[in-house]
């Protein structure tokens, strides 16, 4: 399957769900670690993160995966204490990914440790480790996206990994400068966080926003337009949605990763939706090229209070949930 294959708008038929309509011109991805959800909504890809894996690992349905990760590492006998727990976490991430890939036909995104977000060498090592663990399970690297936070160091790590044929998903992305730097580094895919941008603006302004005015939606449209205008092949995957309106307003984006509750809403609704984004329209955008150097990247990111705050907050949140996952595993040893 070619994930970047041209998607064309289907005829809208009476009774066709919004989810089915959306699949006609956007690659739909499930933002979950729950296998039952994947089977129900039949996305092409799936994404996970530490928060989702923590939630899934505590569910009785997935106890067997945790038990296997613990047993395999104990049998290997190569680590003890904290190192053993971290090795179990890595194994657990891969085991979830392997099971997900039995359900989805495309790719799964597996997230690197948030506490490595400012260490390019460590991120490269973790990406290589993930691929080696997947390959031991018989999974080809083409089906894996290594998720890395969109810091300067994360982008540099992605640049190295991409040259080795290890595809990366740059996550916690909140600004155009982050997106441009990812594209110039050759990242396979980016995940701009729509809902978290909306959260920040609602809190700072006290306003409510229509889907058309939603700052997160506007941000993704700008990134999409920049990529198509300047010929970047990096895929744009809108993420972190708060409502269906944000999703339908981005119909036509390369990919959209959607939580189970919003997938359910889309499946129940049969109102027609129209394609809002297309390469042809994007190429006509009046948007200026951004020069990317480390100094310029850091300055423009710093000038964007929302992006700076949400990036830091996201890294802290994922790091905290990883610690919770480690503590949960420790109780099982």
Per-residue model confidence as pLDDT tens digits over 126-144: 999 999 999 999 999 999 9
Based on its alpha-carbon atoms, the radius of gyration of the chain, rounded to whole angstroms, reads 19
Catalytic residues: 147
Does the residue 115 lie in any domain?
yes
- Non-local (6+) Cβ contacts of 276 within 8 A are 221, 248, 249, 250, 251, 252
Check residue 78 and give its pLDDT.
Answer: 87
Distance CA 177, CA 290 (A): 7
DSSP state, 4? T
Is-contact 251 236, C-beta < 8 A? no
Check residue 50 and give its pLDDT.
Answer: 85
Q: What is the DSSP code string of 168-180? A: EEEEEE-SHHHHH
Check residue 189 and give its pLDDT.
Answer: 98
Does the residue 198 lie in any domain?
yes
pLDDT tens sequence across 267-290: 999 999 999 999 999 999 999 999
What six digits make up the tokens of 305?
A: 């209070």
Distance CA 281, CA 284 (A): 6
CATH number, residue 326: 3.20.20.70
Check residue 143 and give its pLDDT.
Answer: 98
Does the residue 192 lie in any domain?
yes
Give the total number of structural domains in the chain.
1
Print the domain residue range for 124. Answer: 18-330
What stretches in the chain show pLDDT beneath 70? Answer: 1-15
Does the residue 31 lie in any domain?
yes
Nearest to 236 by CA among 311, 167, 182: 182
Check residue 13 and give its pLDDT.
Answer: 42
């Amino acid at each position: 399957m070619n994930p970047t294959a041209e998607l064309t708008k289907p005829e809208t038929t009476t009774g066709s769900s919004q989810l089915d309509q959306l699949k006609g011109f956007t690659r739909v991805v499930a933002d979950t670690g729950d296998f039952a959800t994947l089977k129900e909504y039949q996305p092409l890809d799936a994404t996970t993160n530490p928060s989702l894996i923590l939630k899934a690992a505590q569910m009785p349905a997935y106890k067997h995966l945790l038990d296997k990760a613990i047993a395999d590492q104990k049998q290997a006998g190569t680590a003890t204490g904290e190192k053993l727990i971290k090795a179990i976490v890595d194994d657990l991430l891969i085991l979830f990914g392997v099971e997900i890939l039995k359900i989805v036909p495309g790719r799964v995104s597996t997230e690197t440790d948030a506490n490595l977000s400012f260490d390019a060498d460590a991120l490269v090592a973790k990406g290589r480790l993930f691929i080696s663990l997947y390959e031991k399970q018989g999974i080809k690297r083409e089906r894996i996206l290594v998720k890395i936070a969109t810091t300067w160091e994360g982008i540099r790590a992605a640049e190295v990994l991409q040259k080795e044929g290890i595809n990366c998903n740059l996550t916690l992305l909140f600004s155009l400068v982050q997106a441009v730097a990812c594209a110039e580094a050759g990242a396979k895919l980016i995940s701009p966080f729509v809902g978290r941008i909306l959260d920040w603006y609602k809190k700072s302004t006290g306003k409510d926003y229509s889907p058309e005015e939603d700052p997160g939606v506007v941000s993704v449209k700008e990134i999409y337009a920049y990529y198509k205008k300047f010929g970047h092949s990096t895929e744009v995957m809108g993420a972190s949605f708060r409502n269906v309106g944000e999703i339908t307003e981005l119909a036509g984006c390369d990919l959209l990763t959607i939580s189970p509750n919003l997938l359910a809403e889309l499946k129940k609704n049969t109102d027609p939706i129209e394609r809002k984004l297309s390469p042809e329209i994007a190429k006509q955008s009046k948007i200026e090229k951004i020069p990317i150097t480390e100094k310029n990247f850091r300055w423009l990111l710093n000038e964007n209070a929302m992006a700076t705050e949400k990036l830091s907050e996201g890294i802290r949140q994922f790091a905290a949930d990883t610690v919770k996952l480690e503590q949960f595993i420790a109780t099982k040893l």
